[in-house]
């Protein structure tokens, strides 16, 4: 079953927040087929630990503002890879080196890409 409309809306909010705080190379994957409890992974790169933390904080704040509660957060102390679990949406905010090393896009390469619509179109699907 493809990602729900709610998870796609959450994705747009999270992607806009990431983009606004300097997030780069945004990619969203529909993981609803292999992972029945999650619809979408959002993968974002930050340029430094401080940037990774700022991106994660902004995503969390903007999703909270529209009524979505974070279920879990991991990695905030080191800020090299922060995972934010909002149920239907899981955001992975990586430092450049960790993103390259862990290669989530390679691990989930069979999952469809979900388009991301950003006002400035700096980053896209």
What is the pTM (predicted TM-score) of this model?
A: 0.91
**pLDDT on residue 99:** 96
Strands in 1-123 per DSSP E: 24-30, 40-46, 72-74, 81-85, 89-95
Nearest Cα to Cα of residue 44 among 62, 19, 61: 19
Q: Which CATH class is domain 5-107?
A: alpha beta
Domain spans in the chain, listed from the N-terminal domain onward: 5-107
76-113 as b/e: b if 16+ CB within 10 A: eeebbbbbbebbbbbbbbbbbebbeeeebeeebeebee
* 124's tokens: 């896209």
**pLDDT on residue 124:** 41
**pLDDT on residue 125:** 41
Tell me the mean pLDDT per 10 residues along the chain, length 125: 89 98 97 92 97 98 96 94 97 96 93 89 46
Residues 6+ apart with CB under 8 A from 4: 32, 39, 88
> Strand, coil or helix: what is 113?
strand
């Amino acid at each position: 079953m493809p990602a729900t409309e709610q998870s796609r809306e959450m994705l747009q909010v999270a992607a806009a927040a990431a983009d606004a705080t300097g997030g780069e190379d945004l990619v969203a994957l529909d993981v609803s087929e292999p992972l029945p409890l999650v619809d979408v992974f959002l993968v974002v790169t930050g340029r430094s630990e401080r940037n990774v933390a700022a991106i994660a904080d902004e995503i969390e704040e903007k999703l909270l503002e529209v009524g979505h509660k974070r279920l879990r957060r991991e990695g905030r102390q080191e800020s090299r890879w922060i995972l934010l679990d909002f149920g239907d949406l899981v955001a992975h905010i990586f430092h450049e080196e960790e993103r390259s090393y862990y290669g989530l896009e390679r691990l989930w390469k069979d999952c469809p890409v979900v388009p991301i619509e950003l006002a400035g179109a700096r980053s896209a699907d």
